Amino acid sequence: MIWEQVTLGGKDQVDCRLLAAVRLLYAEDGSKIRSIGVEMLQSWDAPTALLGLANECKVLRTLVGLCMLATAPFPTSISEDQDLLNRDDISENICLATEFRTNKKQLLINTISSLQLRLQSLTMQELVSAPR
User: Which CATH number does the domain housing residue 111 bear?
Assistant: 3.90.1420.10
Is 14 in a helix, a strand, or coil? Answer: strand
In a domain, 8, yes or no: no
- Beta bridge mates, 14: 8
Higher pLDDT, 78 or 44: 78
CA distance 109 to 46: 24
pLDDT tens by residue, 55-83: 899 999 999 999 999 999 998 999 999 99
pLDDT surpassing 70 at residue 10: no
Please, which residues bridge with residue 8 across strands? 14
Over the stretch 98-119, which tens digit does the pLDDT of each residue have?
999 999 999 999 999 999 999 9
Query: Residue 14: what are its φ and ψ, rounded to 5°?
Result: -140, 140
Judged against a pLDDT cut of 70, whether residue 9 lies above it is answered with no
Q: Does residue 55 lie in a domain region?
A: yes
For residues 23 and 8, give the distance between their C-alpha atoms in angstroms, rounded to a whole number: 16
Confidence of residue 11 (pLDDT cuts 50, 70, 90): low
**125 domain-assigned:** yes
Which domain covers residue 97, as residue numbers?
A: 16-129
